[in-house]
Amino acid sequence: MKTQHALGLGIASSLIFSGVAMADFYGLDYAITANDGVDGESNWTVRIYAVLDEGERLDAVAGDETNNKTLTTTGSFYQNGFGGPTSADINPSLYGPFPSLVYDSWVTIGLEDNVGNALSNIGIDWTDFESGGDLATDNGTWFVTPKDAQGEAMPFTNQNGDSLYGTLVAQVTVFGNDSAIHMGAIFQGKDSMGLTWGPTFAEIDIEQPGIIDCNDNGIPDDIDIADGTSTDCDGNGIPDECELDGNDCNDNGIHDACETFDDCNENGIPDECESFSDCNENGVPDECEDLQDWDGNGVPDSCEGLVAYNVSSDTGYTSLDAALLDSDDDDLIWVDGGYAEMLADIDFRGAEVDVEILGGGSPSANVQMAAGSSLHVGLMSDLAGISSDNDGTATVSSDMHLHSSSVHVARGAALNLEGGHMMLGEISARMNSELSLDAPDVFVEGPVTCSAGSTIYCDNLTSNGDATGTFDLFGSMENNGTLRATDDVLVSNDLTNWNTVAIHRGTLYVLGNLTNNGVILGEVDGGPGLRGGNGPEDGDGMNIVGNYTVGEDASIIMPHPYWNISVGGNFDVAINDSANFIMNEATLNLSGHEEQTVEVLGADYGGIEEALDPSYGCTFPIGIVNVRSGAHVVLVDNRDNDCEGDLAEVMYAEMLVVEAGATLDTNGHIIYVADYDNQGTIVGEEDIIIIDPPVLGDLNGDSVVNIDDLLIVISSWGPCDGCAADFDNNGDVGIDDLLVVIANWT
């Protein structure tokens, strides 16, 4: 027979029923969960647990003639009118309108409300308990079945702060801080092997511990701290506001233990709580700073007004302008970081020098560089704007990041920007300019405007604004805004589009892979405007050396016969809405030097001419599919493009061209074309089907040759220049033309 442990702050009796199978049932324990949760008379709320080992469960709480089940108090129990005697009567949706329901008194096994609650009871009169009185029975129980998960032991923390396992058996709120609570009952459950333990009697007596309220707010100190209404930064169990005397050196009403102070001289006194020498008035003791003394006179430069120092000439200055005006080519000038932060502009005034800002940047300054000059900024470096000179090359670099609201590169000039990472606002690159953005990742939030001949060097450029013009980008680009190509644009690596690429004229060259998850369109501008009203020229469009991958919700809109898309890698299109694929007049050039796959897109409506209209069904028609010399194209069906989801997918095109030296492998997929020209090799040429081929002798276009066509020949008999019935084109409808109709009679 096991003896119940003394748990919590209650008093537990010994377990009885010797000889009954026992698991590790340790008796009862409790935790006080609230003080004065109910308005009015002082009250406190307790939860009572049957203490078990992990993996065990409680199934029943009972009383009989020998061991009555009792739940009593020397005060009275709080009972809410919207609750009930068991947790199965508690509706949590009522907590909002009736918050005091949270503190209702009830019994349970495991659960605290009616959600998923399987609790039952028998033989118990709840009348007195529901009126605030005691609960007692000598022949009753509340219980769950062993299959109900709510009886399983769960982790809880008792009044002593110990972490235990157990099953909740009751919550009671008692009026009167001096009131006592008693619970005694028979308990039965199962161990981790499924064997029944008990029945076992256990009881507990609970009293409210003494209340300490140092701030006299009517809430016990421990509840204040637990609820967060008082802080206890030093963890001594006393609200911080009760011990500010001697613990608030800066008199700000906050316990020193709650604050983090600088103590750069490590004398045990926070810097802000002591007096010290601070000649530059920056709030840091002079002894804690490595203050520059450029002129070596023993006085920090910042304390005698020196903000710039020409290292090359060993001369200090009271302004950067003075240092620049007095400099020689290739001089090195140091600038105080605090001074630089206050500058509205930094103008090199043509000085070919190197300027280094010590410690930071100049977030309010517009920087005008000079040819051959450089500016180096420290950590966390912001500049309002950066402009190149009118010629030559200038450099701006940072130890960590480089931020600037605007970047301007003049015509024929070059500007190099360097940093650990880069965030820029707007960029303007004039004709024949060069902009180098030397950082692993560069983010541009504003517009990018580039004139003819401009070049940008950047490993990874993310454009979140509108990029307009014509330029060469040596690197990869992610477009989240609108990229408007007003003439040729080149991206030397990969291009990923999440928004819009609008090609007004010229060619978008992508020497890597193009991934389109947005809209790419050939935008014909009627002008005036970006292109001066000129339409695209034959061959304008896109030239992709690598793969062209198109997402399901993306669009390809090329509504003009001059538009071309040339792809050297795989043509992998997942679009499943034909309204988002307009290429019925455009040309798709396939020019890979290795085997490239091409997705067939259209649903199979058969060889009907209507299927060449993009508004008909889900056919995704293409104007011209041209397999270039040297290419090896294999048709595939890896995507679900047919809109219906259950149709075979094919390709529709006005014209199919396979050039000499090219190979097209249909791979079993049908290509419907109005016409095709095979100068190379087609594997599976039987899969090439001519759409509505003309029937010789069919003069009325009904695809049959019969008496109606014969009557047309007779009605056109004789000299007839350009007549449809003049099959031999000799300018005369006669017997030879009549014989053509008869020869093809259907």
DSSP β-ladder status, 466-479 and 43-52: unpaired
For residue 650, pLDDT beyond 90: yes
Rg of the chain in Å (alpha carbons): 44
Which of 103-112, 329-338, 655-664 is least confident? 329-338
Residue 165 pLDDT exceeds 50: yes
pLDDT for 430 beyond 60: yes
Reference 420, options 382, 383, 379; nearest CA is 379
Q: How many CA atoms lie within 13 A of 487 on its CB side?
A: 13
Mind listing the pLDDT tens digit for each residue in 291-307?
Answer: 667 766 667 776 777 88
Global pTM reads: 0.57
* Residue 745's pLDDT band (cuts 50, 70, 90): confident
Q: For residue 534, what pLDDT band results from cuts at 50, 70 and 90? A: low
pLDDT band, very low/low/confident/very high, at 672 (cuts 50, 70, 90):
very high
By DSSP bridging, strand 308-310 and strand 196-207 are unpaired
Which residues, in sequence order, are bridge partners of residue 664?
Answer: 633, 682
3-state secondary structure (DSSP) of residue 93: helix
Q: What is the pLDDT of residue 298?
A: 63
Helix axes 735-743, 707-715, angle to 10 degrees: 170
- Please identify which residue in the block is written with the tokens 């000085």: 351
Report pLDDT for 647: 67
Range scoring the smallest mean pLDDT among 220-224, 304-308, 653-657 = 220-224
Mind listing the pLDDT tens digit for each residue in 331-375? 999 998 888 888 999 999 999 999 999 877 788 889 999 999 999
H or E element at residue 358: strand 354-358
CA distance 560 to 625: 15
pLDDT tops 80 at residue 1 = no
Predicted pLDDT of residue 733:
87
**pLDDT(479) > 50:** yes
Residue 16: pLDDT over 70: no
- How confident is the model at residue 525, as a pLDDT? 53
Position 645 scores a pLDDT of: 65
Question: Which of these ranges, 216-225, 362-371, 652-661, 675-684, has the smallest mean pLDDT?
Answer: 216-225
pLDDT of residue 276: 67
Cβ burial of 738 (10 Å; 0-12, 13-18, 19+) is middle
Q: Can you tell me the distance from the alpha carbon of 178 to that of 386, in angstroms, rounded to the nearest whole number?
A: 75
Q: Tokens for 69, please give them.
A: 């089940």
Which amino acid is it at 463?
S
Has residue 559 got a pLDDT over 60? yes
Cβ(713)–Cβ(743) under 8 Å? no
CA–CA separation, 213 and 267 (whole Å): 36
pLDDT number for residue 101: 96
From the centroid of its chain, how far is CA 159? 43
Whether the Cβ atoms of residue 435 and residue 456 lie closer than 8 Å to each other = yes
Please compute the mean of the pLDDT values over residues 724-737 and round it to a whole number.
88
- Look at 47 and 243; give whichever has higher pLDDT: 47
239 compared with 279, residue with greater pLDDT: 239
pLDDT of residue 541: 92
Residue 709 corresponds to which amino acid?
D
SS3 584: strand
List % helix, strand, coil for the chain (3-state, nearest 5): 10, 40, 50
What is the rounded distance in angstroms from the CA atom of residue 613 to the CA atom of residue 644? Answer: 18
Mean pLDDT in the chain?
Answer: 88
Residue percentage of the chain with pLDDT more than 90: 62
Separation between Cα atoms, residue 548 and residue 566, nearest integer Å: 9
By three-state DSSP, how is residue 212 classified?
coil
- Sequence-distant (6+) residues with CB within 8 A of 558 are 521, 522, 541, 565, 582, 583, 585, 586
Burial class (CB in 10 A: 0-12, 13-18, 19+), 549: buried
Q: What is the pLDDT of residue 269?
A: 74
Rounded Cα–Cα distance for residues 225 and 238 (Å): 8
Nearest to 63 by CA among 146, 3, 122, 133: 122
pLDDT at 191 over 70: yes
Distance CA 11, CA 5 (A): 9
pLDDT of 29 strictly over 80? yes
Q: How far apart, in whole angstroms, are the C-alpha atoms of residue 185 and residue 512?
A: 78
Q: Looking at 255-269, 489-503, 522-536, 617-631, which range is the least confident one?
A: 522-536
Per DSSP, the residues of 283-321 read: SS-GGGS----TT-SSS-GGGTT--EEETTTTEEESSHH
CA 99, CA 253: separation in Å to the nearest integer?
Answer: 33
Rounded distance between C-alpha atoms, residue 473 and residue 40, angstroms = 75
Of residues 494 and 722, more confidence is placed in 494
Q: Is the pLDDT of residue 113 over 90?
A: yes
Burial of 10 (0-12, 13-18, 19+ CB in 10 A): buried
Confidence of residue 694 (pLDDT cuts 50, 70, 90): low
**Confidence at 699, pLDDT banded by 50, 70, 90:** confident
Whether the per-residue pLDDT at 463 is higher than 70: the answer is yes
The CA distance from 290 to 266, in Å, is 16
| Better pLDDT: 427 or 605 | 427
Give Cβ neighbours of residue 344 (< 8 Å, ≥ 6 apart).
Answer: 364, 365, 366
pLDDT class of 9 with cuts at 50, 70, 90: very low
- As a whole number, mean pLDDT of residues 138-149 equals 93
Distances, alpha carbon 512 to alpha carbons 537, 594, 633, in Å = 24, 15, 19
Q: What angle do CA 86, 90, 91 make, to 5 degrees?
A: 160
Q: What is the pLDDT of residue 505?
A: 86
**CB neighbour list of residue 82: distance below 8 Å, 6 or more residues apart:** 91, 94, 98, 101, 104
